[in-house]
Amino acid sequence: MSDPDRPDFLFPRAKLAVFVDGCFWHGCPLHATWPKQNAAFWRKKLLANRRRDREVNRLLRRAGWRVLRIWEHALTKAHAAARLRRLRVTG
């Protein structure tokens, strides 16, 4: 995988890949906006990022990994800890 495809955190024993996705670069439905300057370029680029994210998820899951994606705006210690606890219980 290339650098944008690498998880931010990897837990090999748990086979868990965690990505912290930036709202702009990964298209957060709450915070992402389309740039007005050079709009065609950015639309193509940002849609390609979303497609790549889905493909990376698919490839990792096919290889037996669990994938957790967290939006940057939601990343607080309490939120991250709760998500990881849920994964331990359900995973």
What is the model's pTM? 0.75
- Amino acid 12: pLDDT: 94
Could you tell me if residue 64 is left (phi over 0), alpha (psi between -120 and 50 degrees) or otherwise beta?
left
Averaged in consecutive runs of 10 residues, what is the pLDDT profile of the chain (91 residues)? 75 93 88 89 94 96 95 80 73 56
CATH of the domain at 74: 3.40.960.10
Could you tell me if residue 15 is left (phi over 0), alpha (psi between -120 and 50 degrees) or otherwise beta?
left
| Contact by Cβ (8 Å): 17, 65 | yes
Number of domains in the chain: 1
The domain of 16 spans 3-90
